[in-house]
A and B are shown apart, each in its own frame.
Chain A
Amino acid sequence: MSHVLVDVIPKALQRASAVRVAGLRRAYGSIVAVDGLDLDVRPGEMLSVLGPSGCGKTTLLRLIAGLEAPDAGMVEIGGRRVAGAGSAVPPERRRVGMVFQDFALFPHLSVRDNIAYGLRADPDRNVRVRELLELIDLVDAAARMPHQLSGGMQQRVALARALAPRPDVVLLDEPFSNLDAALRTQLRGDVREILRASATAAVFVTHDQDEALTLGDRVAVMVRGRIEQSDPPEVVYGEPATPFVATFVGIANLVRAELHGRVAITRFGSVRLVGPRAESAHGRALAVIRPEHLDVTEVPDGPADAGAWRVLGRRFTGAEILYEVIAPDGERLWVEAGHAVRRLRVGDLVSLHLRDVETVAFPIEHLGSEPSGPIGVASTATPSSPAEHAPPPGLTT
């Protein structure tokens, strides 16, 4: 399960986008769900839209599908304008497939009839249904009714149903949120393969960063109705465009730094900067220091070293252990230690050393105001299964 970031961006860019969205806006009263959003999905590409709950992800999908009408902006599917500037193609003529959060299988139809639903006019309907049943490996369950299926089976039927009429793009709304953890992991692989096999472009929204990083050829991070960054997963992780992206995708310590061109000076020493933002900027900044960027060394018992950090808490994740540590000046950080390091206890003193890594930093004046409170990980960041992150070389043992 720990592969994943292997795929390269497919032979994109040669044809029209599968989906193109520009300046899209949709408000419900005073609440702006989608706020001038731009997005581009290439043919055959799988794009994950990652964002916290309530950021407008589902509305985005519904706007693309035509289940809602935008207030402004436009949507193109397969190069054809379907919404905006006077055109409003109804959902049934958009050639869009959708997998709903709770699957929305037709409760009165069997598995076979659910899949065949969109194939009314297709003379080869039976062949196509058979093909899809094989694809989702549910040939034996064809006659069953939806309520007789497990959650995972319902999921696959919903996907097959959406794929049956060979849509230009498949939209998946939190497709795994209703499934338990083990099933989720397995189905991610299944869904990815099924979509690959059908060579259909897909957009799926999720609030789960693992899901987004695992499944997407690209990950679009969405917050407050806009896309903050849209890049391949390793770029989103390695070169986050904003502090929000840094802290929302993976765990990031935002550490005060002084910029000197392509180098940032932090309390741990200097670190090289990468990415388009690595200009010859100067001044105060926040540098992204991931837990795996720091080496942890235990400080032997004795008089406390002035630079030593004290262990506040520990989080065991399987592949490694995360420690929350606090400096004498009150700054808190998350650091990572492999199993090679002796298990630390709360209260132990450690010293931290920056590895030879590259990272990004955000000039403070660009952020509007200096973040208040202790700088560190986003409070919501929960390293649910760091094992699925792509560990930077050198940390794995």
Chain B
Amino acid sequence: MLGVESLRRGRPGRPPRDGGRGAPAVTAPGAPLPLLVACLLIAGLALLPVAYLMVRAVGADVAALDLVLRPRTFQVAASTVALALLVGGGTIVVGVPLAWLTTRTDLPGRRLWAVLVAVPLAIPSYVIGFAFIAAFGPRGALQGMLAPLGVERLPSIGGLFGATLVLVLAAYPYVLLSTRAALLQTDPAAEEAARLLGDRRLTVFRRVTLPILIPAIAAGGLLAVLYALADFGAVSLLQFDSFSRAIYVQYRASFDRALAAILALMLIALTLLVTWGEGRLRRRAGAYAGPVRASRRPATVVPLGRWRWPALAFCSTVVLLALAIPTGTIAWWLVRGVSQGAILRFAADGALNSFTVGAAAAIGSVVLVVPVALLVARYPSRLATIIERATFTGYALPGIVIALAVVFIATSSVPLLYQTLALLVIAYAVRFLPQAVGSVRTALVGVGPRLEEAGRTLGDGPVRAFLQLTLPLLRPALVAGGALVFLTTVKELPMALLLGPIGFDTLATEIWGAASEGFYARAAAPAAILVALSAGTVALLLRAEERPR
């Protein structure tokens, strides 16, 4: 066993399976029963919305089915696929270069840029959407500036183009962060070898760095695409018919839960396709996905030379679009509101509630993610893969669907929990679990089982060995995963509205309450606090990432 392991360098933590080429076993070989049971329960929790949707879909009448099967539904499906592909591609095109520039080059102000380009993670897509319409709409601020030149109207930014743009700006940080983490962890020796073999830096990036980064890029792209699938704010503002908007329209206009359920199940099918694609990419690449590098020689810094200017222009453009315009819009709401005499309410309650629920959900997700990641990393099997995929099903569903599923399940089975903070936190922890899975799984593969084996020989039980030895090493990954969950929780709206205890205001519900009535000035204060709170979290996340394991 040890001899074989030593030959399979680069993959500690993975027991050899059929010489590395055969199909994985159906059941998890050697997975301890309690672990398996815990994972099955977590997967069961994550699949509950699917069960709910099936119950609802069965209630649909035949005419409704006709409606679902008409060409327009396929048109919506096609639009959604197009949006998913464009957002996936766009987030990679934006996120990967930013990750590289902020980790490997002498970009002036590199550390500042690293924070600035990650902060948009904190800004809800509906705020970016609002800001874009305000700035670039046919009669937006840009048109105002161009008016003296005779420009009376700009082309509409709605539709596929606008939705893609806004969602790319809202979701690229997922790709950025996972790619950054991978760049910080990969051994630069392979790149050095490539240079000695005659390649220039950019060629090395294309021929060596990029292929090695594929699993990380795919994992970040997956989160970005699922974010786009679930998003309602941006697509509704920008008038783009995706599945998520179609589902909302069913609830809003026709109160037809059955039809909405059928559409939601179709969206889940699409989600499964996307996660399957990512899994394939990762498996193909995973064969060589090395562990965290042993020697922590820092990668050599690439001097950009005259490329510094285009690089700075690129970073500035992204920060302008994804950060400056949205925060500028918030600030402008604030200023205009104050100048018109609006009274600002400082949302101390909302901020505290958002923080509490976000932190609790983050801790909950982290607690739930450890067994799942452990099973996937240590006992790979078809069952483990299914369990991991199961945790992703709810992630791409619009919040309203999850909220109603939880309403139904809670009122019919655990009425005592209904409209309690605990239920809201559990729902968030399960829904946003996928954001923590990737980083923790990667970290676990890197840590490997050796330390625990050492602990076992020194008299620790398996649980104690894990808690004492492996868990501390997972800390950066857990902090990173928890931070992502925190960020998405504090900006989430429909679940907070419907599942929160009565009178439980969060920053997001306060923004919604004010903005939906057009009181933008009143929305500005909680929005500003939300962005500030989240920016702090992003900084924490970046620090966790750069800390050596």
Chain A positions near chain B (C-beta within 8 angstroms): 65-68, 90-94, 96-98, 100-102, 104-109, 117-118, 120, 145-148, 150-151, 154, 161-162, 164-165, 178, 180
Contacts and interface: CB of A to CB of B under 8 A. Distances in A.
B198 A120 contact: yes
19 contacts: A67-B195, A67-B196, A90-B200, A91-B195, A92-B196, A93-B198, A94-B196, A98-B193, A104-B189, A104-B190, A104-B192, A106-B194, A107-B288, A118-B197, A120-B198, A146-B10, A147-B10, A147-B287, A161-B193
B1 interface: no
A302 B20 CA distance: 68
A106 B200 contact: no
Nearest to A91: B195
A134 B10 CA distance: 26
Nearest to A148: B20
Nearest to A164: B197
Interface string B130-164: 00000000000000000000000000000000000
Interface string B291-328: 00011000010000000000000000000000000000
Contacts of B198: 92-93, 118, 120, 165
A154 B189 CA distance: 15
Contact of A107 (B200, B212, B294, B295): B212
A68 B298 CA distance: 12
A147 B208 contact: no
Contact of A106 (B208, B285, B294, B295): B208
Nearest to B10: A147
Interface of B: 6-11, 20, 187, 189-190, 192-200, 207-208, 211-212, 214, 285, 287-290, 294-295, 300
B341 to A, nearest CB: 59
Given A67-B196, A92-B199, A109-B211, 5 more contacts: A91-B192, A101-B189, A107-B190, A118-B197, A147-B11
Rank and list the top 3 A-B pairs by shortest CB-CB distance, nearest first: A118-B197, A107-B288, A104-B189
A98 B212 CA distance: 20
Contacts of B11: 147
Nearest to A158: B193
A92 B192 CA distance: 9
A104 B285 CA distance: 16
B199 A147 contact: no
A150 B7 contact: yes
A24 B453 CA distance: 46
A147 B190 contact: no
A96 B187 CA distance: 20
A98 B9 CA distance: 20
Contact of B187 (A66, A102, A178): A102
Nearest to B210: A108
Contacts of A96: 196
Give the most central of A96, A147, A161, A178: most B CB within 10 Å.
Answer: A147
B192 A147 contact: no
A174 B187 CA distance: 17
A235 B189 CA distance: 35
A354 B207 CA distance: 63
Nearest to B199: A92
B196 A145 contact: no
Nearest to B20: A148
A92 to B, nearest CB: 5
Contacts of A147: 8-11, 20, 287-288
Contacts of B6: 151, 180
B535 to A, nearest CB: 33
